[in-house]
Amino acid sequence: MPHEVRGVVSRAKGEPVSLETVLVPDPGPGEAVVSVKACGVCHTDMHYRDGGINDDYPFLLGHEAAGYVEQVGDGVTDLEPGDYVILNWRAVCGTCRACKRGKPWYCFNTHNAAQPMTLADGTKLSPALGIGAFLDKTLVHAGQCTKVSPDAEPAVAGLLGCGVMAGIGAAINTGAVGRGDTVAVIGCGGVGDAAIAGARLAGAGKIIAVDVDDRKLGWAKDFGATHTVNSRGKSEDEVVEAIQDLTSSFGADVVIDAVGRPETWRTAFYGRDLAGTVVLVGVPTPDMRLNDMPLIDFFSRGGSLKSSWYGDCLPSRDFPALVDLYLQGRLPVDKFVTERISADGVEQAFSRMHHGEVLRSVVEFS
């Protein structure tokens, strides 16, 4: 018998999300049903609502979640009911060319549940990032469940399932920030502040936070920013100059774009030192273009230009380790939780995110 629960659904481009009855099947082979305890509201959920990811409406939103395994399907040997897990959107296959070359964080064939969750009339839902977790119970592939210490409460632990992991990983895994490096982070929302926290953890010497909002810059300092630049009303060149002024006129060793717009990426490109690294972790929409950049600039400035999907993380390696760092007081993941809401508050949470009032609103389930 399918479980009947209420979930947050985006039915049509740009329209407010609604709470709908969702049917969650019992787990089939290799699948698990998870009782969701908390799920953060990520900017990517808003991108889905606005058509910025694809047009496969209706979407079942939510993907930064933690909870308890309730049921497992046939063939699931490493999970059992009662296990405390963070959901991940990188259940690696182990057999694709990336996995076989020992780089499973690039896995090209990640697993999701095979059975669909549906609306009451049978319409198939597209779960955000293959998860869909703004509901009491969800169906995922067993590999999407990463066991962690239950000492970290769900509202905090769940955030490691997407945005916080993406930001920390953008700094540590993709950007390979090292001791004494100068780092600039453009966009200080949940992802950008996590990149700042990651840079601090990796021993960066100077961490420059750039945002258009003073409140965000204040929070960025709590995560380890040593300097801030308010870029509102500034041209790209002026922001680049501000970064250079703070780095002996060279630019930063690693610049992380946690916004994902042509202007922020160009600022990152010109705001880094020669031979430095640019990391794009913010997600551009398909219509965005980089126009009129001289090819010679790419050549003559050297270095590397990278993108960071999910912070190049390997959930089984990174989630338990980051939870432990949090429990040791070395990574303030709890500071990302600005407010706790119920599932009917997601649309308002999008609006607060849009207006810069929150780092993370977290939906809690009883």
Where does this chain bind ligand NAD (CB under 6 A)?
42-44, 47, 162-163, 166, 186-192, 210-213, 216, 231, 258-261, 264, 281-283, 308-310, 353, 356
258 contributes a contact to Zn ion by CB under 5 A: no
Which candidate, 88, 137, 96, 58, places its Cα nearest to that of 315? 88
With respect to ligand NAD, which residue has the nearer C-beta, 23 or 242?
242
- Contact partner, 192, from ligand NAD, Zn ion, none, Cβ < 5-8 Å per class: ligand NAD
- Contact partner, 140, from Zn ion, ligand NAD, none, Cβ < 5-8 Å per class: none
With respect to ligand NAD, which residue has the nearer C-beta, 138 or 231?
231
Peptide bond into 58 cis (omega under 30): yes
Q: Which stretch binds Zn ion (CB under 5 A): 80-88, 107-115, 134-142, 285-293?
A: 107-115
Which candidate, 361, 343, 342, 340, places its Cα nearest to that of 352? 361
Residues in the chain, how many?
366
Q: CA-to-CA distance for 303 and 252, rounded, in angstroms?
A: 12
| 364: Cα separation from own chain's centroid | 18
- Contact partner, 93, from ligand NAD, Zn ion, none, Cβ < 5-8 Å per class: Zn ion
- Contact partner, 309, from Zn ion, ligand NAD, none, Cβ < 5-8 Å per class: ligand NAD
Element (H, E) at 191: helix 190-201
Beta bridge partners of 4: 23
Q: Which stretch binds Zn ion (CB under 5 A): 72-80, 93-101, 132-140, 355-363?
A: 93-101
- Contact partner, 235, from ligand NAD, Zn ion, none, Cβ < 5-8 Å per class: none
Which candidate, 89, 121, 111, places its Cα nearest to that of 23? 121
List the x/- string, 36-65, binding to Zn ion by CB under 5 A. Answer: ------x-x---------------------
Q: CA-to-CA distance for 116 and 120, rounded, in angstroms?
A: 12
With respect to Zn ion, which residue has the nearer C-beta, 65 or 204?
65
114 contributes a contact to Zn ion by CB under 5 A: no
Contact at 8 Å (CB) between 240 and 270?
yes
Neighbours of 147 (CB within 10 A): 17
In whole angstroms, how far apart are CA 14 and each of 11, 48, 131, 277? 9, 9, 21, 35
- Contact partner, 185, from Zn ion, ligand NAD, none, Cβ < 5-8 Å per class: none
309 contributes a contact to Zn ion by CB under 5 A: no
Contact at 8 Å (CB) between 236 and 213?
no
With respect to Zn ion, which residue has the nearer C-beta, 158 or 175?
158
Which residues are CB-neighbours of 3 under 8 A, at least 6 positions away?
Answer: 23, 24, 25, 26, 33, 137
361 contributes a contact to Zn ion by CB under 5 A: no
162 contributes a contact to Zn ion by CB under 5 A: yes
- Contact partner, 216, from ligand NAD, Zn ion, none, Cβ < 5-8 Å per class: ligand NAD
Chain contacts with Zn ion (rule: CB under 5 A): 42, 44, 92-93, 96, 99, 107, 109, 162-163
